Amino acid sequence: MLTLAALNWLYHGGKDRLLVGRLSPAIASLLNARTLLVHINAATLRHIIDEKPRQIAVSDVLLLTKMISDGLIVREAARQNSFVIFYHSPERQLKAAFKIAAGGEEIWVSTLHQSRARQARALLKRGTVIRTHR
């Protein structure tokens, strides 16, 4: 379960990865992933939190589980081993990128940052909607 304590443990090197969510079997199949589990590693978490221009708070990172379950999922045609999820939190719109690795056996959070509506519109023009917002 994604909690503040678990993120703190990961950030400070207590673990090498943390489960942040699960895709549905149907979504995983559409993405050609062989796993439902989505993880984040310590280096990515530090990158997300420590990069000040993005203005991402730990509370935003805690939304990854909700993003995975309810967000708009888009796959770019040019990037078959990755996908993006857009999510409207109460404070802002967020965009997270994910990488499918190890022949589909692993899914990793690549980045998380604020997004603008035009970024979502641009991605929709060159990508395929896998799932709409819930």
Q: Determine phi and psi for 32, rounding to 5 degrees.
A: 60, 35
Dump pLDDT digits (tens) for 73-123: 999 888 889 999 999 988 889 999 999 999 899 999 999 999 888 888 888
Q: Does residue 134 have a pLDDT over 90?
A: no
In sequence order, which residues have a C-beta less than 8 Å from that of residue 45 and are 6 or more positions away?
A: 7, 10, 11, 18, 61
Summarised one tens digit per residue, pLDDT across range 14-68 is 889 999 999 999 999 999 999 999 999 999 999 999 886 567 888 899 999 999 9
- The verdict on pTM exceeding 0.75 is yes
**pLDDT value of position 54:** 60
Structural domain range at position 116: 4-131
Domains contained in the chain, number: 1
